[in-house]
Protein backbone atom coordinates (compact mmCIF):
# COMPACT_ATOMS: atom_id res chain seq x y z
CA UNK A 1 0.00 0.00 0.00
CA UNK A 2 0.97 3.63 -0.33
CA UNK A 3 3.26 4.83 2.45
CA UNK A 4 1.28 8.08 2.85
CA UNK A 5 -2.21 9.32 3.61
CA UNK A 6 -4.07 12.15 1.90
CA UNK A 7 -4.40 15.54 3.55
CA UNK A 8 -5.52 17.89 0.77
CA UNK A 9 -7.95 16.84 -1.96
CA UNK A 10 -9.04 18.26 -5.31
CA UNK A 11 -12.35 17.32 -7.00
CA UNK A 12 -12.03 15.72 -10.44
CA UNK A 13 -14.37 16.70 -13.30
CA UNK A 14 -17.15 14.19 -14.03
CA UNK A 15 -18.46 14.79 -17.57
CA UNK A 16 -21.18 13.39 -19.82
CA UNK A 17 -20.61 11.66 -23.15
CA UNK A 18 -22.10 14.62 -25.14
CA UNK A 19 -19.80 17.05 -23.40
CA UNK A 20 -16.77 14.87 -24.17
CA UNK A 21 -17.73 14.49 -27.84
CA UNK A 22 -18.04 18.23 -28.19
CA UNK A 23 -14.77 18.87 -26.34
CA UNK A 24 -12.81 16.37 -28.43
CA UNK A 25 -14.16 17.74 -31.73
CA UNK A 26 -13.25 21.28 -30.66
CA UNK A 27 -9.77 19.99 -29.70
CA UNK A 28 -9.21 18.72 -33.25
CA UNK A 29 -9.15 15.20 -31.77
CA UNK A 30 -5.84 16.05 -30.15
CA UNK A 31 -5.56 15.31 -26.42
CA UNK A 32 -3.12 18.19 -25.98
CA UNK A 33 -5.90 20.64 -26.90
CA UNK A 34 -8.33 19.50 -24.20
CA UNK A 35 -8.80 21.61 -21.10
CA UNK A 36 -8.17 19.91 -17.77
CA UNK A 37 -11.75 20.66 -16.71
CA UNK A 38 -12.85 18.27 -19.47
CA UNK A 39 -10.71 15.36 -18.23
CA UNK A 40 -11.73 12.94 -15.47
CA UNK A 41 -8.53 10.87 -15.12
CA UNK A 42 -5.49 12.53 -16.65
CA UNK A 43 -2.87 10.00 -17.74
CA UNK A 44 -1.40 12.21 -20.46
CA UNK A 45 1.89 12.47 -18.61
CA UNK A 46 3.64 11.90 -15.31
CA UNK A 47 5.58 15.13 -15.89
CA UNK A 48 5.00 17.95 -13.42
CA UNK A 49 1.77 16.29 -12.32
CA UNK A 50 2.90 14.67 -9.04
CA UNK A 51 1.43 15.49 -5.62
CA UNK A 52 3.59 17.41 -3.15
CA UNK A 53 4.38 16.10 0.32
CA UNK A 54 3.85 18.09 3.52
CA UNK A 55 7.63 18.36 3.78
CA UNK A 56 7.80 19.86 0.26
CA UNK A 57 5.13 22.41 1.13
CA UNK A 58 7.04 23.32 4.25
CA UNK A 59 10.23 23.59 2.16
CA UNK A 60 8.45 25.96 -0.22
CA UNK A 61 7.67 28.26 2.69
CA UNK A 62 11.36 28.73 3.49
CA UNK A 63 12.26 29.27 -0.18
CA UNK A 64 14.79 32.09 -0.46
CA UNK A 65 13.96 34.36 -3.40
CA UNK A 66 17.32 36.11 -3.48
CA UNK A 67 18.60 36.74 -7.02
CA UNK A 68 22.19 35.63 -6.44
CA UNK A 69 23.45 33.16 -3.84
CA UNK A 70 20.04 32.02 -2.59
CA UNK A 71 20.25 29.49 0.26
CA UNK A 72 17.57 27.50 -1.61
CA UNK A 73 20.06 26.97 -4.42
CA UNK A 74 22.67 25.64 -2.00
CA UNK A 75 20.19 23.14 -0.54
CA UNK A 76 19.26 22.04 -4.10
CA UNK A 77 22.93 21.92 -5.07
CA UNK A 78 23.96 19.83 -2.03
CA UNK A 79 21.22 17.23 -2.52
CA UNK A 80 22.13 16.81 -6.19
CA UNK A 81 25.87 16.79 -5.51
CA UNK A 82 25.38 13.98 -3.01
CA UNK A 83 23.33 12.06 -5.57
CA UNK A 84 25.46 12.64 -8.66
CA UNK A 85 29.02 13.60 -7.65
CA UNK A 86 29.15 16.15 -10.52
CA UNK A 87 31.18 19.25 -9.70
CA UNK A 88 28.96 21.54 -11.79
CA UNK A 89 25.19 21.65 -11.16
CA UNK A 90 23.21 24.08 -13.34
CA UNK A 91 19.53 24.57 -12.47
CA UNK A 92 17.15 24.95 -15.41
CA UNK A 93 13.39 25.41 -15.62
CA UNK A 94 12.84 21.97 -17.19
CA UNK A 95 14.64 19.14 -18.95
CA UNK A 96 14.50 20.49 -22.48
CA UNK A 97 16.34 23.67 -21.41
CA UNK A 98 19.20 21.45 -20.20
CA UNK A 99 19.14 19.69 -23.58
CA UNK A 100 19.27 22.93 -25.55
CA UNK A 101 22.10 24.38 -23.45
CA UNK A 102 24.21 21.21 -23.50
CA UNK A 103 23.72 20.65 -27.23
CA UNK A 104 24.48 24.30 -28.11
CA UNK A 105 27.73 24.04 -26.14
CA UNK A 106 28.79 20.56 -27.22
CA UNK A 107 27.47 19.60 -30.66
CA UNK A 108 28.78 20.61 -34.05
CA UNK A 109 26.31 20.89 -36.93
CA UNK A 110 26.42 17.84 -39.19
CA UNK A 111 27.54 15.59 -36.33
CA UNK A 112 25.80 12.66 -34.63
CA UNK A 113 24.30 11.89 -31.21
CA UNK A 114 23.70 8.24 -30.31
CA UNK A 115 21.23 7.06 -27.70
CA UNK A 116 19.45 3.93 -26.49
CA UNK A 117 16.43 6.00 -27.58
CA UNK A 118 16.11 9.78 -27.74
CA UNK A 119 13.10 11.20 -25.95
CA UNK A 120 11.04 13.36 -28.33
CA UNK A 121 12.23 16.77 -27.07
CA UNK A 122 15.80 15.45 -26.94
CA UNK A 123 15.56 14.37 -30.56
CA UNK A 124 14.05 17.75 -31.54
CA UNK A 125 16.88 19.62 -29.78
CA UNK A 126 19.55 17.45 -31.42
CA UNK A 127 17.98 18.19 -34.80
CA UNK A 128 17.66 21.91 -34.04
CA UNK A 129 21.43 21.87 -33.36
CA UNK A 130 21.83 20.57 -36.94
CA UNK A 131 22.75 17.03 -35.89
CA UNK A 132 21.48 13.51 -36.44
CA UNK A 133 19.78 11.78 -33.48
CA UNK A 134 20.52 8.06 -33.92
CA UNK A 135 18.73 5.46 -31.79
CA UNK A 136 20.43 2.13 -31.09
CA UNK A 137 18.03 0.22 -28.82
CA UNK A 138 19.00 -3.35 -27.91
CA UNK A 139 17.53 -6.04 -30.21
CA UNK A 140 15.27 -7.38 -27.40
CA UNK A 141 13.40 -4.05 -27.36
CA UNK A 142 11.79 -4.91 -30.69
CA UNK A 143 9.89 -7.82 -29.15
CA UNK A 144 7.37 -5.85 -27.12
CA UNK A 145 5.78 -9.01 -25.70
CA UNK A 146 8.99 -10.67 -24.53
CA UNK A 147 10.04 -10.91 -20.87
CA UNK A 148 13.60 -9.50 -21.26
CA UNK A 149 14.07 -7.41 -18.09
CA UNK A 150 16.23 -4.60 -19.51
CA UNK A 151 14.76 -3.59 -22.86
CA UNK A 152 15.96 -0.03 -22.22
CA UNK A 153 19.54 -1.15 -22.90
CA UNK A 154 21.57 0.20 -25.78
CA UNK A 155 22.78 -2.23 -28.47
CA UNK A 156 26.44 -2.46 -27.43
CA UNK A 157 27.58 -4.18 -30.63
CA UNK A 158 25.93 -1.51 -32.79
CA UNK A 159 27.38 1.24 -30.59
CA UNK A 160 30.88 -0.20 -30.90
CA UNK A 161 30.48 -0.45 -34.65
CA UNK A 162 29.36 3.19 -34.84
CA UNK A 163 32.33 4.26 -32.70
CA UNK A 164 34.72 2.42 -35.03
CA UNK A 165 33.08 3.45 -38.33
CA UNK A 166 34.53 6.06 -40.71
CA UNK A 167 31.92 8.45 -39.23
CA UNK A 168 33.18 7.87 -35.68
CA UNK A 169 34.82 11.28 -35.32
CA UNK A 170 31.41 12.84 -35.92
CA UNK A 171 29.88 11.21 -32.84
CA UNK A 172 29.84 14.07 -30.33
CA UNK A 173 27.78 12.49 -27.57
CA UNK A 174 26.14 9.28 -26.34
CA UNK A 175 22.95 9.71 -24.28
CA UNK A 176 21.59 6.94 -22.07
CA UNK A 177 17.95 7.59 -21.24
CA UNK A 178 17.02 6.04 -17.87
CA UNK A 179 14.37 4.77 -17.93
CA UNK A 180 13.91 4.62 -21.67
CA UNK A 181 10.75 6.73 -22.02
CA UNK A 182 10.56 6.61 -25.83
CA UNK A 183 11.15 2.85 -25.64
CA UNK A 184 8.22 1.80 -23.42
CA UNK A 185 9.56 3.04 -20.06
CA UNK A 186 11.96 0.11 -19.95
CA UNK A 187 14.96 0.18 -17.61
CA UNK A 188 18.66 0.11 -18.44
CA UNK A 189 20.77 -2.39 -16.51
CA UNK A 190 23.84 -1.30 -14.59
CA UNK A 191 25.83 -3.84 -16.62
CA UNK A 192 24.77 -2.11 -19.85
CA UNK A 193 25.51 1.35 -18.43
CA UNK A 194 28.98 0.20 -17.31
CA UNK A 195 29.78 -1.33 -20.68
CA UNK A 196 28.54 1.77 -22.51
CA UNK A 197 30.60 4.04 -20.28
CA UNK A 198 33.70 1.91 -20.92
CA UNK A 199 33.16 1.95 -24.71
CA UNK A 200 32.62 5.72 -24.71
CA UNK A 201 35.73 6.31 -22.62
CA UNK A 202 37.82 4.11 -24.93
CA UNK A 203 36.65 6.12 -27.95
CA UNK A 204 36.83 9.52 -26.27
CA UNK A 205 33.12 10.27 -26.58
CA UNK A 206 31.28 11.78 -23.60
CA UNK A 207 28.40 9.76 -22.15
CA UNK A 208 25.55 11.68 -20.52
CA UNK A 209 22.48 10.34 -18.77
CA UNK A 210 19.02 11.61 -19.60
CA UNK A 211 18.03 11.01 -16.01
CA UNK A 212 14.36 12.03 -15.82
CA UNK A 213 13.44 8.72 -14.11
CA UNK A 214 16.73 7.80 -12.42
CA UNK A 215 14.99 6.58 -9.23
CA UNK A 216 12.52 4.36 -11.09
CA UNK A 217 15.38 2.90 -13.12
CA UNK A 218 17.23 2.21 -9.86
CA UNK A 219 14.17 0.51 -8.37
CA UNK A 220 13.85 -1.79 -11.38
CA UNK A 221 17.56 -2.62 -11.07
CA UNK A 222 17.00 -3.72 -7.43
CA UNK A 223 14.21 -6.00 -8.66
CA UNK A 224 15.74 -7.37 -11.86
CA UNK A 225 19.55 -7.32 -11.68
CA UNK A 226 20.73 -9.95 -9.20
CA UNK A 227 24.00 -8.22 -8.39
CA UNK A 228 22.12 -5.20 -6.99
CA UNK A 229 19.34 -6.86 -5.03
CA UNK A 230 20.86 -5.83 -1.70
CA UNK A 231 21.56 -2.24 -2.71
CA UNK A 232 19.22 0.65 -2.01
CA UNK A 233 17.73 2.56 -4.96
CA UNK A 234 19.77 5.56 -3.83
CA UNK A 235 23.06 3.62 -3.96
CA UNK A 236 22.22 2.37 -7.44
CA UNK A 237 21.28 5.85 -8.65
CA UNK A 238 24.57 7.20 -7.26
CA UNK A 239 26.52 4.46 -9.03
CA UNK A 240 24.74 5.24 -12.33
CA UNK A 241 25.53 8.97 -12.16
CA UNK A 242 29.12 8.10 -11.22
CA UNK A 243 29.56 6.22 -14.51
CA UNK A 244 28.63 9.20 -16.70
CA UNK A 245 30.36 12.44 -17.70
CA UNK A 246 27.25 14.35 -16.76
CA UNK A 247 23.50 14.33 -17.05
CA UNK A 248 20.48 16.23 -18.23
CA UNK A 249 17.47 15.80 -16.01
CA UNK A 250 13.90 16.88 -16.05
CA UNK A 251 12.94 17.11 -12.38
CA UNK A 252 9.25 17.21 -13.28
CA UNK A 253 9.34 13.42 -13.00
CA UNK A 254 11.56 12.02 -10.26
CA UNK A 255 11.95 15.44 -8.61
CA UNK A 256 8.23 15.01 -7.74
CA UNK A 257 7.69 18.73 -8.36
CA UNK A 258 5.77 20.81 -10.83
CA UNK A 259 8.71 22.45 -12.53
CA UNK A 260 12.47 22.10 -12.68
CA UNK A 261 15.50 20.40 -14.07
CA UNK A 262 19.27 20.48 -13.99
CA UNK A 263 22.38 19.91 -15.99
CA UNK A 264 25.21 18.09 -14.20
CA UNK A 265 28.69 18.27 -15.73
CA UNK A 266 32.17 17.02 -14.84
CA UNK A 267 34.25 18.87 -17.41
CA UNK A 268 35.15 22.42 -16.30
CA UNK A 269 35.47 23.87 -19.78
CA UNK A 270 32.15 22.45 -20.99
CA UNK A 271 30.50 23.65 -17.77
CA UNK A 272 31.76 27.19 -18.38
CA UNK A 273 30.35 27.26 -21.89
CA UNK A 274 27.02 25.97 -20.56
CA UNK A 275 27.05 28.53 -17.72
CA UNK A 276 27.29 31.37 -20.24
CA UNK A 277 24.30 30.02 -22.15
CA UNK A 278 22.44 29.43 -18.89
CA UNK A 279 22.88 33.04 -17.80
CA UNK A 280 21.88 34.39 -21.21
CA UNK A 281 18.80 32.23 -21.71
CA UNK A 282 17.56 30.73 -18.40
CA UNK A 283 18.81 32.85 -15.52
CA UNK A 284 21.72 33.37 -13.17
CA UNK A 285 23.56 30.21 -12.07
CA UNK A 286 21.94 30.11 -8.61
CA UNK A 287 18.36 29.97 -9.92
CA UNK A 288 18.43 29.10 -13.66
CA UNK A 289 14.77 29.82 -14.40
CA UNK A 290 13.41 28.53 -11.08
CA UNK A 291 12.04 30.29 -8.02
CA UNK A 292 13.73 29.72 -4.67
CA UNK A 293 10.68 27.81 -3.46
CA UNK A 294 10.94 25.48 -6.50
CA UNK A 295 14.58 24.75 -5.67
CA UNK A 296 13.62 23.85 -2.09
CA UNK A 297 10.67 21.67 -3.12
CA UNK A 298 12.97 19.88 -5.58
CA UNK A 299 15.65 19.29 -2.95
CA UNK A 300 13.02 17.67 -0.72
CA UNK A 301 11.39 15.74 -3.60
CA UNK A 302 14.78 14.29 -4.57
CA UNK A 303 15.23 13.06 -1.01
CA UNK A 304 11.78 11.40 -1.02
CA UNK A 305 11.89 9.80 -4.46
CA UNK A 306 14.48 7.15 -3.62
CA UNK A 307 12.50 5.89 -0.58
CA UNK A 308 12.07 2.16 -1.30
CA UNK A 309 8.59 2.16 0.29
CA UNK A 310 7.42 4.87 -2.09
CA UNK A 311 8.99 3.19 -5.13
CA UNK A 312 7.57 -0.22 -4.25
CA UNK A 313 4.03 1.12 -3.79
CA UNK A 314 4.24 3.03 -7.07
CA UNK A 315 5.59 0.04 -8.99
CA UNK A 316 2.83 -2.15 -7.54
CA UNK A 317 0.03 0.30 -8.43
CA UNK A 318 1.23 0.27 -12.04
CA UNK A 319 1.46 -3.52 -11.98
CA UNK A 320 -2.12 -3.69 -10.62
CA UNK A 321 -3.45 -1.63 -13.54
CA UNK A 322 -1.42 -3.76 -15.94
CA UNK A 323 -3.01 -6.88 -14.52
CA UNK A 324 -6.56 -5.50 -14.92
CA UNK A 325 -5.87 -4.53 -18.52
CA UNK A 326 -4.32 -7.91 -19.31
CA UNK A 327 -7.31 -9.71 -17.76
CA UNK A 328 -9.55 -7.67 -20.08
CA UNK A 329 -7.67 -9.20 -23.00
CA UNK A 330 -5.69 -6.12 -23.99
CA UNK A 331 -1.99 -6.66 -24.63
CA UNK A 332 0.54 -4.27 -23.15
CA UNK A 333 4.27 -3.78 -23.59
CA UNK A 334 6.06 -6.32 -21.39
CA UNK A 335 7.53 -6.38 -18.85
CA UNK A 336 5.57 -3.70 -16.99
CA UNK A 337 7.64 -0.69 -15.93
CA UNK A 338 6.72 1.98 -13.39
CA UNK A 339 5.77 5.34 -14.85
CA UNK A 340 3.32 4.05 -17.44
CA UNK A 341 1.70 1.14 -19.16
CA UNK A 342 1.59 0.99 -22.96
CA UNK A 343 -1.48 -0.56 -24.62
CA UNK A 344 -0.97 -2.45 -27.87
CA UNK A 345 -3.59 -0.62 -29.94
CA UNK A 346 -2.44 -2.13 -33.22
CA UNK A 347 -3.37 -5.56 -31.94
CA UNK A 348 -6.64 -4.53 -30.27
CA UNK A 349 -7.87 -2.67 -33.38
CA UNK A 350 -6.80 -4.80 -36.36
CA UNK A 351 -9.51 -3.14 -38.49
CA UNK A 352 -7.72 0.23 -38.18
CA UNK A 353 -4.61 0.22 -40.43
CA UNK A 354 -1.50 2.22 -39.40
CA UNK A 355 -2.41 5.02 -41.84
CA UNK A 356 -5.57 5.54 -39.78
CA UNK A 357 -3.60 5.71 -36.52
CA UNK A 358 -4.92 2.90 -34.28
CA UNK A 359 -3.10 4.26 -31.22
CA UNK A 360 -4.73 7.61 -31.68
CA UNK A 361 -8.08 5.90 -32.28
CA UNK A 362 -7.83 4.00 -28.98
CA UNK A 363 -6.70 7.12 -27.15
CA UNK A 364 -9.81 8.97 -28.44
CA UNK A 365 -12.03 6.03 -27.43
CA UNK A 366 -10.63 6.13 -23.88
CA UNK A 367 -11.54 9.78 -23.66
CA UNK A 368 -14.99 9.43 -25.21
CA UNK A 369 -15.92 6.41 -23.09
CA UNK A 370 -14.40 7.39 -19.77
CA UNK A 371 -12.96 10.91 -19.83
CA UNK A 372 -9.48 9.36 -19.60
CA UNK A 373 -6.69 11.32 -21.26
CA UNK A 374 -3.73 9.33 -22.64
CA UNK A 375 -1.20 9.84 -25.40
CA UNK A 376 -0.61 7.99 -28.65
CA UNK A 377 2.84 6.51 -29.17
CA UNK A 378 2.53 5.03 -32.61
CA UNK A 379 2.57 6.29 -36.17
CA UNK A 380 1.22 9.74 -35.30
CA UNK A 381 4.05 10.22 -32.79
CA UNK A 382 6.87 8.39 -34.52
CA UNK A 383 5.81 7.56 -38.10
CA UNK A 384 6.81 9.58 -41.14
CA UNK A 385 4.08 11.71 -42.64
CA UNK A 386 4.14 13.70 -45.92
CA UNK A 387 3.03 17.35 -46.33
CA UNK A 388 -0.58 16.26 -46.78
CA UNK A 389 -0.49 14.42 -43.44
CA UNK A 390 -0.49 11.00 -45.14
CA UNK A 391 1.54 8.29 -43.46
CA UNK A 392 4.62 7.30 -45.48
CA UNK A 393 6.43 5.06 -42.96
CA UNK A 394 4.51 3.63 -40.01
CA UNK A 395 6.02 3.31 -36.53
CA UNK A 396 7.21 -0.13 -35.43
CA UNK A 397 4.28 -0.42 -32.97
CA UNK A 398 0.95 1.30 -32.46
CA UNK A 399 0.82 2.03 -28.74
CA UNK A 400 -1.09 4.19 -26.27
CA UNK A 401 0.73 5.35 -23.16
CA UNK A 402 -1.11 5.60 -19.86
CA UNK A 403 1.29 7.60 -17.68
CA UNK A 404 0.69 7.46 -13.94
CA UNK A 405 1.25 10.74 -12.06
CA UNK A 406 3.15 10.32 -8.79
CA UNK A 407 1.07 10.05 -5.57
CA UNK A 408 -2.07 11.40 -7.32
CA UNK A 409 -4.54 8.63 -8.16
CA UNK A 410 -5.78 5.89 -5.82
CA UNK A 411 -6.26 2.25 -6.59
CA UNK A 412 -10.00 2.84 -7.25
CA UNK A 413 -9.14 5.45 -9.90
CA UNK A 414 -6.90 2.90 -11.58
CA UNK A 415 -9.65 0.28 -11.30
CA UNK A 416 -12.01 2.68 -13.07
CA UNK A 417 -9.44 3.02 -15.87
CA UNK A 418 -9.19 -0.76 -16.08
CA UNK A 419 -12.98 -1.00 -16.37
CA UNK A 420 -13.20 1.56 -19.20
CA UNK A 421 -10.50 -0.32 -21.11
CA UNK A 422 -12.37 -3.61 -20.54
CA UNK A 423 -15.58 -2.00 -21.90
CA UNK A 424 -13.82 -0.85 -25.06
CA UNK A 425 -12.17 -4.25 -25.47
CA UNK A 426 -15.61 -5.91 -25.65
CA UNK A 427 -16.45 -4.07 -28.90
CA UNK A 428 -13.14 -2.93 -30.40
CA UNK A 429 -14.60 -2.95 -33.93
CA UNK A 430 -16.70 0.10 -32.98
CA UNK A 431 -13.60 2.29 -32.68
CA UNK A 432 -13.07 4.30 -35.92
CA UNK A 433 -9.74 5.31 -37.48
CA UNK A 434 -8.55 8.91 -37.91
CA UNK A 435 -7.01 11.11 -40.59
CA UNK A 436 -4.65 14.05 -40.07
CA UNK A 437 -6.02 17.35 -41.37
CA UNK A 438 -3.27 19.68 -40.06
CA UNK A 439 0.30 18.64 -39.33
CA UNK A 440 3.28 20.80 -38.21
CA UNK A 441 6.79 19.70 -39.30
CA UNK A 442 8.30 18.91 -35.85
CA UNK A 443 6.78 17.57 -32.60
CA UNK A 444 3.74 16.81 -34.70
CA UNK A 445 1.75 15.01 -32.02
CA UNK A 446 1.56 18.15 -29.84
CA UNK A 447 -0.10 20.28 -32.51
CA UNK A 448 -1.71 18.09 -35.20
CA UNK A 449 -5.47 18.24 -35.81
CA UNK A 450 -7.34 15.12 -36.88
CA UNK A 451 -10.82 13.89 -37.67
CA UNK A 452 -12.49 10.47 -37.36
CA UNK A 453 -13.49 8.47 -40.44
CA UNK A 454 -16.90 8.05 -38.85
CA UNK A 455 -18.26 9.02 -35.46
CA UNK A 456 -17.93 6.24 -32.93
CA UNK A 457 -21.14 4.95 -31.38
CA UNK A 458 -21.33 4.86 -27.58
CA UNK A 459 -20.87 1.33 -26.25
Ligand X SMILES: *Cc1c(COP(=O)(O)O)cnc(C)c1O
Q: How many CB atoms lie within 10 A of CB 108?
A: 11
Q: In whole angstroms, how close is the CB of 337 to ligand X at the nearest point?
A: 12
Q: What minimum distance in Å lies between the beta carbon of 289 and ligand X?
A: 11
Catalytic status, residue 360 = no
Check if 67 is active-site. Answer: yes
Q: Which residues contact 99 (CB under 8 A, 6 or more apart)?
A: 121, 122, 125, 126, 248
Residue 100 sits in the site that holds ligand X (CB under 6 A): no
Q: Could you say which DSSP state residue 407 is in?
A: T
C-alpha–C-alpha distance, residues 106 and 114, integer Å: 14
Question: Beta 171-177 vs 132-135: how paired, if at all?
Answer: unpaired
Determine the Cα–Cα distance for residues 257 and 298; give it in Å rounded to an integer.
Answer: 6
Q: Is 145 among the residues known to form the active site?
A: no
379 binds ligand X (CB under 6 A): no
> Residue 249: in which H helix or E strand, if any?
strand 246-250
Nearest residue (CB) to ligand X, 94 versus 363: 94
DSSP code at position 51 = P
CA-to-CA separations, 184 to 136, 279, 335, 347, 377, in angstroms, rounded: 14, 35, 9, 16, 9
d(CA 174, CA 244): 10
What's the closest the beta carbon of residue 269 comes to ligand X, in angstroms?
A: 25
Output DSSP code: residue 356. G
Query: Which one, 181 or 300, has the nearer CB to ligand X?
Result: 181
Q: How far is the CB of 118 from ligand X (least distance, A)?
A: 8
Measured CA to CA, the distance from residue 208 to residue 110 in angstroms comes to 20
Number of residues that bind ligand X (CB under 6 A): 15
Told to judge if 167 belongs to the known catalytic residues of this protein, a careful annotator would answer: no
3-state secondary structure (DSSP) of residue 48: coil
Which range binds ligand X by CB under 6 A, 93-101, 129-137, 216-224, 306-314?
93-101
Q: Measured at CB, which residue is nearest to ligand X?
A: 95
The least distance separating ligand X from the CB of residue 46, rounded to whole angstroms, comes to 8
Told to check if 212 binds ligand X by CB under 6 A, we report yes
Can the peptide bond before residue 451 be classed as cis, meaning omega within 30 degrees of 0?
Answer: no
Q: Which of 40, 72, 94, 363 binds ligand X (CB under 6 A)?
A: 94
Site string for ligand X, 115-134 (x = CB under 6 A): ----x-xx------------
Among 29, 86, 103, 119, the active-site one is 119
Q: Does the annotation count 73 as an active-site position?
A: no
142 a catalytic residue: no
Name residue 391's beta-bridge partners.
385
Active-site annotation holder among 129, 212, 240, 448: 212
Under 8 Å between Cβ of 249 and 262? yes
Q: Of 64, 210, 245, 294, which one is the catalytic site residue?
A: 210
Residue 210 annotated in active site: yes
Please identify, among the stretches 160-168, 245-253, 299-307, 437-445, the one whose residues bind ligand X according to the rule CB under 6 A: 245-253
For the segment 248-277, give every residue that binds ligand X (CB under 6 A): 250, 252-253, 261
Chain residues 43-62 in contact with ligand X, contact rule CB under 6 A: 47
* Bridge-based pairing state of the strands 132-135 and 112-115: parallel
Residue from 50, 63, 91, 95 touching ligand X (CB under 6 A): that is 95
Q: CB–CB of 322/418 below 8 Å?
A: no
Residues forming the site for ligand X (CB under 6 A): 47, 94-96, 119, 121-122, 177, 181, 210, 212, 250, 252-253, 261
Enzyme catalytic residues: 67, 119-120, 210, 212, 253, 445
Amino acid sequence: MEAYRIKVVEPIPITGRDQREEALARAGYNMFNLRSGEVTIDLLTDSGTGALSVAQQAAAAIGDETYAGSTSFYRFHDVITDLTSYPHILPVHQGRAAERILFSALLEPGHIVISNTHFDTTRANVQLAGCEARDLPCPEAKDIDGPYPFKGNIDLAALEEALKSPDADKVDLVIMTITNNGGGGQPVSMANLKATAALCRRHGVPMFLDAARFAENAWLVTQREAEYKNNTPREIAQAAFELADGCMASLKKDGISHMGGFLGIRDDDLANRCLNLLTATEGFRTYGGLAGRDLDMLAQGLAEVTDPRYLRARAEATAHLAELVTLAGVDIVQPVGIHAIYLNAGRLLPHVPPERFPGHALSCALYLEGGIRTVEMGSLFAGEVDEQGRLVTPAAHELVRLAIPRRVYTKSHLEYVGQVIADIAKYPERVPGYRVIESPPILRHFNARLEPFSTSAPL
